[in-house]
Amino acid sequence: MLEAVLIFLVAAYISLIIIEYFRYQNDEPMLILLKENVKEYEDGHVYIDYGLGYKSITYERKSIYGKQFGHIFIRVKDALN
């Protein structure tokens, strides 16, 4: 019984990450948004949205423009590397 519950929870979490990724690709908001953060720079802004173990980063700067989706530990790029 416990194994079935754990398998269900892992499958549900993986499904959530996949759904969130496709929503991210379509520029839709996260289903589960725990925290929003905005970093301001001289040449624009970086928007960081935190989910359950993953995050979305949107760069709207003159030097960096684009977006990232990944695990909670990905770093915000300060410059093009």
Give the residue extent of every domain in the chain: 2-71
- Asked if residue 5 has pLDDT above 80, the reply is yes
Cα–Cα distance list, 79 to 43, 62, 76 (Å): 11, 10, 9
Tell me how far the alpha carbon of residue 54 is from its chain's centroid: 5
pLDDT at position 63 is 86
Q: Is the pLDDT of residue 81 over 80?
A: no
**Helix, strand, coil % in the chain, rounded to nearest 5:** 30, 35, 35
pLDDT tens digits for range 24-74:
999 999 999 999 999 999 989 999 999 999 999 999 999 888 999 999 999
Kindly report the backbone phi and psi dihedral angles of residue 79, in degrees, each rounded to the nearest multiple of 5, phi listed first: -155, 165
pTM: 0.82
With contact defined as beta carbons under 8 Å apart, do 37 and 53 qualify?
no
The 10s digit of each residue's pLDDT in 11-27 is 999 999 999 999 999 99
